[in-house]
Structure 1
Amino acid sequence: MRHSLLPPLAACLIGIGFAAAGCSDADDPTPSTPAASPATPTDAGDGLPIDATAEVSDWEDCPYLDTQWVADTNGQRMTRWGVDKRFGTPACVFWSYPEDPQATVLIRQMPSVEEARAVVDWAAPVEDTELAEFDGWSGGRGVFEDHSVFAVQKDNHAVVVWSNQLQTLKPQLIAQEAIKRLGL
């Protein structure tokens, strides 16, 4: 007489299935919606405070501005330059003969429009500067005791340029060139 192993095997598999189901935690159902994906670095900004300034970490060329173009635009010979890579888009710092930089360029991609505005308000306070607007960008421009500033914001981007020249046209031209070259 022949015996088939199929019925006992099927019963065994069914029993294992029930045992495994009995060991699961019924109070912890599998979520029906997928988990949210983590925010990309561009969504979170660079993680630096609104008032972060450039601190040169690498003595290399600015990736979005030509050094000689900056020297010609700001009106001073260039003696050294470097970048701060803590920012999502590296900050660029340019020197001439004085100890302080002749120009500093910050490009900030912030988590929100409000934070981008806060960067501009920190760099070019409304009470101390004049309105600066072009091509959908808005912010301030001003001359202070030993420098000038041009700071503008559009969407969640903020662009700030300081110059040791006491006229706002020079940092404005540098900011506009950076915006153009970066496609902002």
Structure 2
Amino acid sequence: MSASLDLKPEILKLFAFTQKIRHELAAIRKPGSDEDRFNSMSQELDAIVEATEVATNAILESVEAIDALAQEIRAMAPDNKPMTNKLDAIGDKIGTVFEACSFQDITGQRVSKVVTSLKFIDEKLNTMVSLWGKDELARLSKEISEESGKSGDAALLNGPQLKGKGVSQDDIDRLFD
């Protein structure tokens, strides 16, 4: 009989620990809600990669155009040594820009690793959600949301919207027509 009394505090600690895990899980994953934070994070990271790629391509196209213009100027005055020296300096800077733009590929690779990790964590969380039950976690999630009490400006701050999400410029224009 005393052995079962010795186990009681340990069982209570284990129960308290699992309750804490359930609350933390409910705070991360809100069952029944449209919000999927891990999917949202993956989309945000994909948007970063896409925006970086677009910006890098614009930079590279502009630098290529500058290089072409510099070559045209060089052809106009091949014997002008001071101008040729300046055009060589422009060519060196163009090379530096091309090298610096290689960051985009590395950034994309690193972000892809993060997205893969997020998907792994998401799968594990989905397993935990199914073990504890969506209804219970939804109840806990609602309690946590009510406790956090986001209101005012804090409730409005969502950062830049993903492409196709949020209010479009056309929607805003229609409001003013």
TM-score, normalised to structure 2's length? Answer: 0.23
TM-score, normalised to structure 1's length? Answer: 0.22
| Bigger fraction of residues in strand | 1
Structure number with greater CO (CA < 8 Å, separation at least 6) is: 2
